[in-house]
A = this chain, B = another copy of it.
Amino acid sequence: MSSVPAFKRLPRAVREQQMLDAAVKVFSRRGFHAASMDEIAEDAGISKPMVYAYLGTKEELFVACLHREGTRMMQAIAGAAAPDLPADERLWRGLRAFFGFVGAYRDGWAVLYRQARGEQPFAGELATMRARLVEVVAGMLDHALRAEGREIAAIDLEVVAYALVGATESLADWLADHPDADPEKTATRMMNVAWLGAAQLLHGVTWRPPVD
């Protein structure tokens, strides 16, 4: 019987990626709780027990999503910002990579990130990632300061870095909600806010991306 097997059998690795794709999509659309495992399974073109067999419980599945997307993002950023460049150059490249990532994986990022903030079990996971980002930014600021022979309290540095990261995330949300917006341009705007500051901007000074 069954001369034509309705649909193909695929190796585990492939199916897992399909499931993760579906999960990201559904979690992003519905939110963690409102998303049902049935819908995810259906969207992945597979039945529910397979999801449990491969990726475990709903929570574990969500964590797996967070991990994949988080790793992708970190790699995108890390790959762009070489540590031996001057601080402004590093900041610029990091921002550009970041917004590029968000633009490319709108679903993936915006929603997973937005989701994870609220739900207790995952807030920690997220906080770790953000903490790494804050540390990187704080390190850059500190480096730039020392280069000028200055120094400020570590806590102030951290808070400033926190604010910058927050502003960036906020613009990422904006970008995710405006599909027509250009990631590159958004990065430039963020660079203006971050590096020159509102006051400078008000005086008409404008930072421009280097033409390379």
Contacts and interface: CB of A to CB of B under 8 A. Distances in A.
A118 B120 contact: no
Contacts of A186: 159
A31 B198 contact: no
A160 B192 contact: yes
Interface stretch (A41-49, A100-108, A141-149): A141-149
Contact of A194 (B30, B148, B198): B198
Contacts of A144: 202
Interface stretch (A2-10, A11-19, A72-80, A165-173): A165-173
A165 B128 CA distance: 23
A209 interface: no
Contacts of A162: 170-171, 174
Interface in A164-192: 164-171, 173-174, 186, 189-190, 192
Nearest to A111: B118
A124 to B, nearest CB: 12
A119 interface: yes
Given A159-B189, A169-B170, A190-B163, A30 B200 contact: no
A208 interface: no
A171 to B, nearest CB: 5
Contacts of A204: 150
Interface of A: 30-34, 114-115, 117-120, 141, 144-145, 148, 150, 152, 156, 159-160, 162-171, 173-174, 186, 189-190, 192-204
Q: Which 5 A-B pairs have the closest CB atoms?
A: A197-B197, A166-B170, A118-B118, A167-B167, A33-B33
